[in-house]
């Protein structure tokens, strides 16, 4: 559907107050969870129940019809028919070439049993990075050959001044992030690598507008447009749609269903997440989606509820309407800890076996700059092993259960680990011996648990 029709509906749709919309969503969704028998299994977070995955997809379509997509600037509901939603899914690309030249990578809409491995995105989504460490941290990702595409972190200061939402420095910050990310790619001989979700510091349309230039975001890169929680949009998001479509770069949505919020529990959040994918495909015209389960208490995706929610959505779309879905991999803990590596491995197994791609690791839930290339390397290595050893969902669930047991204590008392320059030599861009030794030891342990690393 073209953006003009979306805007027209945002002006003329039925009126509803936002609070009433929220409560209606809660009520409708509760009925759908019961009607379709959606049940979260916290012990088996990788879903291989096809009937339930299909039911989730059907429930999401029902929810879309019942609710519509609320524009909070107009308080009007943008409505889509079931046919319009399915048509949008059908016409969304099933295969894309992301990046340029020899560094370009294919991202495919995954299907169950299609014999394809995920596209691995490395980086530190949503993580505030200090100016002086931005380039070294991005170099630590560029140095990892198994990372297919890379997402930058967020610059929080420029020239020592804090970047404010909607302020002039949002322009400078979004541009500088891309300049330094590209420089990191060039230093490691991969200048054509796709930058995923360019403009991380852009909370408004300013940043997106600022980077629509080949010097910053190339048309072979992508930028991100969130769906507001739950099932809402606004003029800022729609302005970014307009900007991206006319530039045109690839676009990815972002949906953050809150487990325990207006959607209800993990089952309700899964329905809302799937509905958000349908709306974002139709209203934003995106080519890929970023799925980010938010646990109302712990935030992290590495909770059993978060991994289950992502998994059932991945399987539901792989079976019913394939499209590229990347899942965020936010962890409780930070770099330099064993727990981060366990969380990393669990997320990698769960996402690979759920027909998802990944949107990289957000260590410490993206709060502290305690991140590095090494945990991203582990993520990619686990994905590779899971794929090549043809790991089953049942085996994956066994290993994930064991891993959750190793980091469960982190939900209440997370170890945030250390900043990048205390785990890496920030000039040579290599892990310091202590971090390397910890990684080696945990990797050995993971091998003993049944992950057959090839590298």
Positions that interact with other proteins (CB under 8 A)? 22-23, 26, 72, 128, 154, 156, 162-167, 170, 173, 201, 203-204, 228-229, 234, 258-265, 268, 296-297, 299, 305, 365, 367-368
3-state secondary structure of 259: strand
Minimum CB distance to other proteins smaller for 138 or for 258: 258
For 233, the enclosing helix (H) or strand (E) is strand 232-233
Min CB(364)–other proteins separation in Å: 9
Minimum CB distance to other proteins smaller for 258 or for 327: 258
Min CB(386)–other proteins separation in Å: 29
Rounded Cα distance between 294 and 309, Å, is: 10
Minimum CB distance to other proteins smaller for 99 or for 265: 265
Minimum CB distance to other proteins smaller for 80 or for 216: 216
Counting beta carbons within 10 angstroms of the beta carbon of residue 428, is it exposed (0 to 12), middle (13 to 18) or buried (19 or more)?
Answer: exposed
Listed residue (256, 264, 228) closest to 24, CA to CA: 264
Minimum CB distance to other proteins smaller for 42 or for 102: 42
Rounded Cα distance between 357 and 379, Å, is: 12
Rounded Cα distance between 150 and 183, Å, is: 13
Min CB(91)–other proteins separation in Å: 31
Pairing of strands 95-98, 161-162: unpaired
Minimum CB distance to other proteins smaller for 136 or for 261: 261
Minimum CB distance to other proteins smaller for 220 or for 233: 233
Min CB(415)–other proteins separation in Å: 15
Min CB(128)–other proteins separation in Å: 4
Min CB(166)–other proteins separation in Å: 5
- Which token pair is 369? 């700059």
Q: Are 45 and 307 in contact (CB under 8 A)?
A: yes
3-state secondary structure of 390: coil
Listed residue (243, 112, 119) closest to 174, CA to CA: 243
CA 190 to chain centre: 23
Please compute Rg for the chain using Cα positions. 20
Rounded Cα distance between 59 and 77, Å, is: 19
Min CB(361)–other proteins separation in Å: 17
């Amino acid at each position: 559907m073209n953006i003009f029709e979306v805007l027209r509906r945002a002006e003329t749709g039925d009126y509803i107050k936002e609070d009433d919309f929220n409560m209606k969503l809660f009520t409708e969704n509760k009925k759908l969870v019961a009607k379709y028998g959606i049940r979260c299994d916290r012990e088996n977070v990788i879903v291989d129940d096809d009937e339930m995955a299909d039911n989730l997809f059907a429930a999401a379509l029902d929810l879309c019809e019942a609710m519509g997509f609320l524009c909070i600037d107009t308080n009007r509901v943008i409505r889509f028919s079931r046919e319009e939603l399915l048509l949008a899914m059908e016409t969304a690309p099933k295969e894309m070439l992301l990046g340029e030249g020899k560094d370009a990578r294919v991202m495919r809409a995954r299907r169950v049993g299609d014999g394809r491995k995920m596209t691995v995105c490395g980086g530190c989504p949503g993580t505030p990075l200090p100016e002086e460490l931005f380039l070294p941290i991005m170099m630590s990702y560029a140095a990892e050959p198994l990372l297919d595409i890379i997402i930058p972190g967020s610059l929080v200061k420029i020239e020592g001044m804090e970047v404010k939402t909607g302020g002039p420095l949002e322009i400078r910050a979004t541009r500088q992030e891309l300049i330094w990310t590209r420089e990191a790619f060039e230093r490691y001989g991969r200048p054509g690598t796709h930058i995923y979700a360019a403009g991380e510091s852009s909370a408004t349309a300013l940043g997106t507008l600022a980077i629509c230039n080949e010097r910053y975001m190339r048309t072979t890169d992508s930028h991100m447009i969130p769906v507001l929680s739950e099932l809402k949009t606004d003029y800022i998001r729609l302005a970014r749609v307009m900007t991206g479509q006319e530039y045109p770069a690839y676009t990815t949505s972002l949906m953050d269903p809150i487990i325990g919020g207006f959607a209800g529990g993990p089952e309700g959040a899964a329905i809302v997440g799937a509905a958000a994918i349908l709306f974002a495909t139709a209203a934003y015209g995106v080519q890929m989606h970023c799925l980010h389960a938010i646990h109302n208490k712990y935030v992290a995706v590495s909770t059993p509820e978060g991994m289950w929610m992502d998994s059932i959505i991945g399987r539901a779309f792989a079976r019913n309407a394939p499209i590229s879905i990347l899942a965020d991999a936010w962890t409780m803990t930070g770099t330099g800890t064993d727990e981060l590596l366990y969380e990393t491995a669990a997320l990698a197994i769960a996402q690979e076996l759920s027909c998802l791609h990944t949107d990289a690791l957000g260590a410490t839930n993206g709060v502290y700059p305690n991140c590095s290339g090494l945990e991203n390397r582990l993520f990619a290595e686990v994905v590779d092993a899971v794929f090549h050893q043809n790991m089953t969902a049942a085996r994956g669930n066994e290993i994930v259960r064991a891993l959750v047991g190793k980091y469960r204590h982190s939900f209440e008392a997370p170890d945030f680990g250390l900043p990048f320059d205390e785990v890496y030599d920030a000039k040579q861009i290599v892990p310091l011996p202590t971090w390397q030794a910890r990684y080696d030891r945990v990797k050995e342990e993971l091998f003993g648990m049944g992950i057959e690393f090839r590298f």
